Amino acid sequence: MLDTIVSLATPPMMGALAVIRLSGPEAFKIVTKSFTKDLTILKEKAIVYGKLFDDEELVDEVVAFCFVAPHSFTGEDVVEISCHGSMLIANEIITLMVKNGARLAVPGEFSNRAYLNAKVDLVQAEAINDMINATTQEAKKLSLLSLVGETSKIVYPIRERLADILSLIEVNIDYPEYQDIEQANYALVISEVNEINKEIGRLIKEGRQGQIIKEGIKVAIVGAPNVGKSSLLNALLKEDKAIVTDIAGTTRDVVEGEINLEGLKLLLLDTAGIRESSDVIENIGIQKSKASINSADLVIYVKDAENANVEDEFAALVKDKRVITVYNKADKVKKKDPEKLYISALENDLSALEKAIAKTVGVDKESYLRPSLNNARQLALLRKTYEQLEIAKHEAEIEISLDLISVSLQQAFFTIKEILGENVDNDLSKEIFSRFCVGK
């Protein structure tokens, strides 16, 4: 029998109320041991007011929200004790529940139970965590689509199609004498795999867009000293975060800031201007700038519009990156090259850059509303399925036996099912849920 688990469900701080959650076969019994009401007699969900006692001593006056299995979030008996919101009281109640036989929950354990009891699939369970961690409205909306099962639905047709082709091949292998059954021939495998992989390719592309919306991107602002990198950071943040002076070599450390550009989360890194220097501290800063370039998803390469043709060593440093080159201090130049992107950090004239970022990152408006498989695990499994199917296709092309092709197709089938958690073993699901916070 599974343990009954307990944890605080609200943040560990003072508030009007705190909620302590218990889930498991003994939840009602454990609470009842210290409660003025008997919850073990409940046959359906109920809200019960009463007092909690530790032996003779009153701990708090509480409301217990009781959910009878299987009609609860976890699928087990669940009690949510709503008490007065002091950490002292909450801790006393948790200690009391442990004394009565509950065990402290580990991170993600409630969601893990919901998953194990088939209340949610893995994509939905992961969405719970994503939604809690979302910092933009857009990311929250995407997670909500997953939570209510919309994202899982995009996997079903692929799973069905693979199951169909697998069963067709099995029939052909097992009953070669049945003439009326459609012949699962090599051409069929090839054409099916082509179509399925076209679909998977689309899902990967959309998933990556979803990932960008959810997690944001890292943007390094780089360039020679004094071109206005820190001024640009400040202008984008609308805050005086980095020090700005007309002395070349002002910025030493990497200065970070986050903005929300029309729903797109950007983690901006302002870096030290790169040049030859004998200053020890400045050189460390320059090394950090180079590291920032490497870790960034996008580089804003700032040049001085007045000295637009001055070459620096950046062209080489950023050559493998997605780069937007901007010419700052546009307010100082009269003649502008129509091919170039001008901004003025001083005058807050950044619209050309903002448009270029949105275009380069390439998140279309539909991506904000479209369910997508957008976390690293889901994307890795999509890619794996794609590769396994390519192997099956290759095997069909060189006409090896259907038995062997069936094995490759089965692997792809299992991988796609793994996205929903349909054949994830217990250890792996524990590993996934351990990334959640306690009480979820």
Ligand X SMILES: Nc1nc2c(ncn2[C@@H]2O[C@H](COP(=O)(O)OP(=O)(O)OP(=O)(O)O)[C@@H](O)[C@H]2O)c(=O)[nH]1
Q: Is residue 230 within the footprint of ligand X (CB under 6 A)?
A: yes
At residue 259's C-alpha, the angle toward residues 255 and 265, to 5°, is: 115
Phi/psi region, residue 110 (left: phi>0; alpha: psi -120 to 50; beta: rest), is alpha
Q: 152 with 388: CB under 8 angstroms?
A: no
Tell me the closest approach of the beta carbon of residue 227 to Mg ion, in angstroms.
9
- For ligand X, the closer CB: 301 or 368: 301
From residue 339 to residue 358, what is the string marking binding to ligand X with x (rule CB under 6 A)? -----xxx------------
For residue 406, the partner it binds in Mg ion, ligand X, none, with Cβ less than 5 to 8 A by kind, is none
Kindly tell me which of 26 and 282 has the beta carbon lying closer to ligand X: 282
- By CB under 6 A, is residue 438 in contact with ligand X? no
Site string for ligand X, 260-279 (x = CB under 6 A): ------------xx------
As a whole number of angstroms, the distance between CA 440 and CA 435 comes to 10
Q: Which residue's structure tokens are 């060593």? A: 313
DSSP state of 334: S
Q: Applying CB under 5 A, which residues contact Mg ion?
A: 229-230, 250-251
Contact pattern for ligand X over residues 305 through 344, marking x by CB under 6 A: -----------------------xx-xx-----------x
The only residue of 24, 50, 75, 225 in contact with ligand X, by rule CB under 6 A: 225
Q: What are the angstrom distances between the C-alpha of 249 and each of 244, 282, 330?
A: 10, 7, 21
Comparing CB distances to ligand X, the nearer of 244 and 412 is 244
Residue 324 near residue 341 (C-beta atoms within 8 A): yes
Instruction: Please count the residues of this chain forming the interface with ligand X, following the rule CB under 6 A.
Output: 23
In the complex, minimum distance from the CB of residue 322 to ligand X, in angstroms, rounded to a whole number: 21
Residue nearest to ligand X (CB): 273
Helix H or strand E encompassing 260: strand 255-261
Residues 243-262 that bind ligand X (CB under 6 A): 244-246, 248-251
Cβ proximity to ligand X: between 26 and 270 the closer is 270
Minimum Å gap between C-beta 436 and ligand X is 40
DSSP state string for 125-149: HHHHHHHHH--SHHHHHHHHHHHTT
Is the Cβ of residue 324 or residue 432 nearer to ligand X in the bound state? Answer: 324
Structure tokens, 264: 């797109």
In the list 82, 151, 172, 226, the residue contacting ligand X (rule: CB under 6 A) is 226
Q: Which stretch binds ligand X (CB under 6 A): 44-52, 140-148, 222-230, 261-269?
A: 222-230
Choose which of 30, 93, 139, 227 interacts with ligand X (CB under 6 A): 227
Scanning 118-126, 209-217, 240-248, 405-413 for contacts with ligand X by CB under 6 A, the matching segment is 240-248
Contact indicator for 20, 7 with CB cutoff of 8 Å: yes
Q: Which two tokens stand for residue 287?
A: 């090394």
How many Å apart are CA 4 and CA 22, to the nearest integer?
7
- Which residues are within 8 A (CB) of 165 and not within 5 positions of it... i.e. 6 or more apart? 184, 188, 189, 192, 409
Q: What is the dihedral of CA 279, 281, 286, 290, to 10 degrees?
A: 150
Residue 344, binding choice from Mg ion, ligand X, none, Cβ under 5 to 8 Å by partner class: ligand X
If binding is defined by CB under 6 A, does position 289 make contact with ligand X? Answer: no
Three-state secondary structure call for residue 223: strand
Q: Which secondary structure element, helix H or strand E, spans residue 103, and what is its range?
A: strand 103-104
In total, the chain counts a number of residues equal to 440
Q: Which is nearer to ligand X, 46 or 346 (CB)?
A: 346
Q: Return the one option of ligand X, Mg ion, none that residue 24 interacts with (CB less than 5 to 8 A, by type).
A: none
State the binding partner of 331 from ligand X, Mg ion, none, CB within 5 to 8 A by kind.
Answer: ligand X
What the block records as the tokens of 398 is 């060189």
In the complex with ligand X, the residue whose CB is nearer, 210 or 273, is 273
- Cα separation of 344 and 350, whole Å? 7
Distance CA 86, CA 322 (A): 50
Q: Binding ligand X by CB under 6 A: which of 229, 393, 417, 440?
A: 229
Q: Which residues lie near ligand X (CB under 6 A)?
A: 225-231, 244-246, 248-251, 272-273, 328-329, 331-332, 344-346
